[in-house]
Amino acid sequence: MSVPLLEVDDLVVEFHTADGVVRAVNGLSWSVNAGETLAIVGESGSGKSVSVQAVMGLLQMPPARIVRGQIRFEGQDLLSMGRRQHRAMCGERIAMVFQDALAALNPVYSVGYQLAEALVVRKGLSRRDARRRAIELLELVKVPNPSQRVKDYPHQFSGGMRQRVMIAMALALEPDVLIADEPTTALDVTVQAQIMRLLAEIQAERQMALILITHDLGVVANVADHITVMYAGRAVEQAGVYDIFAAPAHPYTKALLRSIPRVDMKGRELEVIAGRPPVLTDIPPGCAFHPRCQYAQDVCRTEWPELRDLGGGRKSACHFAESVLDGTVESPADGDGGPGVTESRGMRGAGV
């Protein structure tokens, strides 16, 4: 395959706020092919949602401004096409599922109406056909008793069911790319797993490209093909899912992995990443992660590490990527949980 289905290339997005200009996304690139799943992982404020909002044309401009970069769908730049054309791509070719389904569904319309809306408006379906299709969609996402529930309003659904409705709505126009922005964050752990399984099933069945935005590496382990880890507006590591879980090539990824609860670690204490994510108006000089990094050297405080190709389809933005990768760098945390990494019982650290 020569041209990726959807590709973000060197994207820079700034927000103009009262406190100055903030670079929310700084030279980010990623791509996804049909039938593939890409997970974009990062803490809140890392800019992980901004790039997909740019894809969907949902950024509020101003305050947001796309400084440079391209977003290509089937090789065609979405940013340079007209607003109307861009909007026409959304929903039909690229669709999106949002985090908080209760807020993301309009409270005053029945879910049937909202499922059918795009079909009626965009596809010119009759009300009756659209309704029938809405019921099919609810069936597809395994909402029980769909022909009854289609008349209900969002507030009458449980959290998990609402998220299924959201997914059904995104699937209405049979998109080629589905973007899910923290689709399970607001849900219980058991429901989270069900929703992820549903997304994976639908993706496999339709050979869609799926983009998952999350702060929780654990959630995407079983679903994703590729992972882009973001920190302070930049991609710090990009690799296949097995590579990342087997041996991360960036200290931040490493720390994220250690903060995932695992069955085989039962009874042991969970680690959290020390410190806070940087405030975007005040990103530290050099490598943005250095104040929290246990391997930090002098060079990290002054020089930004480029995102380098390490071969084998992986990239890392660390001066010592190779050493991190093969574990030759001495990490105090490996031994006694020294200054870099603190421990805490039962907390899922990196996330919230």
Partner 1 sequence: MGSYVARRVLQGIFTLFLVFFLLHVLTTLAIQVNGNPALAFFGEKVPTQSQLLEVKKRYNLDDPCFEQLGNPCLRPFVERLNAYLHGDFGTNLRGDQAVTEMVATAAPNTLRLFTVVTITWLIVGMLLGSLAARFRGRLPDHSIRSLSILIDAFPVFVMLLVYKYIVAVPVERWMDDRFGDEAFPTLMFKPSFDPDHPWATVVVPGFLLGVTGSAAFIRLVRASQLENYHADYVRTARAKGLGDARVTVFHIIRNSSIPVVTAIGFVFADALAGAVITEGLMNIYGMGGLLWRAVRESEVSVVAGMVSLLAVVVLVVNVLVDLAYAALDPRIRYD
Phi and psi angles of residue 96, each rounded to the nearest 5 degrees, phi first: -140, 140
- Name the one range near partner 1 by CB under 8 A: 84-92, 132-140, 250-258, 294-302: 84-92
Q: Which stretch binds partner 1 (CB under 8 A): 69-77, 100-108, 238-246, 293-301?
A: 100-108
Three-state SS at 271? strand
Q: Does 231 bind partner 1 (CB under 8 A)?
A: no
DSSP code at position 90: B
Cβ–Cβ under 8 Å, residues 214 and 247: no
Helix ranges (H only) for 221-340 are: 241-246, 251-258, 298-302, 321-326, 332-336
Give least dist CB 168 to partner 1, A: 12
CB of 230 to partner 1, least distance (A): 21
Three-state secondary structure call for residue 78:
coil
Q: Which residue from 34, 81, 140, 173 is in contact with partner 1, where contact means CB under 8 A? A: 173
Give 113's Cβ-side CA count (13 Å radius).
Answer: 10
Nearer to partner 1, 130 or 232 (CB): 130
Ranges of H-type helices in the chain: 48-56, 83-89, 101-104, 111-123, 127-140, 146-149, 159-171, 189-206, 217-220, 241-246, 251-258, 298-302, 321-326, 332-336
By CB under 8 A, what part of segment 150-169 binds partner 1?
Answer: 153, 155-156, 166, 169
The pair of three-digit structure tokens given for residue 62, joined into one six-digit string? 């101003």
Among 9, 12, 34, 117, binds partner 1 (CB under 8 A): 117
Contact flag: residue 61 with partner 1 (CB under 8 A): no
Q: Provide the β-strand partners of residue 229.
A: 41, 237
User: What angle separates helix 189-206 from helix 159-171, to the nearest 10 degrees?
Assistant: 20
* Rounded distance between C-alpha atoms, residue 185 and residue 120, angstroms: 31
Answer for which of 21, 61, 67, 103 binds partner 1 (CB under 8 A) is 103
Comparison of 104 and 283: residue with beta carbon closer to partner 1: 104
**String marking each residue 30-59 x if it binds partner 1 according to CB under 8 A:** --------------------------xxx-
Residue among 120 and 274 whose Cβ is closer to partner 1? 120
Q: How far is the CB of 176 from partner 1 (least distance, A)?
A: 13
Other Cβ atoms within 10 Å of 114 Cβ, number: 20
Judged by CB under 8 A, does residue 128 bind partner 1? no
Q: Minimum distance from CB of 124 to partner 1 (Å)?
A: 13
Count residues near partner 1 (CB under 8 A): 34
Please select the residue that binds partner 1; options are 2, 18, 82, 107, rule is CB under 8 A: 107
Q: Where do contacts with partner 1 occur on this chain (CB under 8 A)?
A: 56-58, 60, 84, 87-92, 95-96, 98, 100, 103-108, 110, 117-118, 121-122, 153, 155-156, 166, 169-170, 172-173
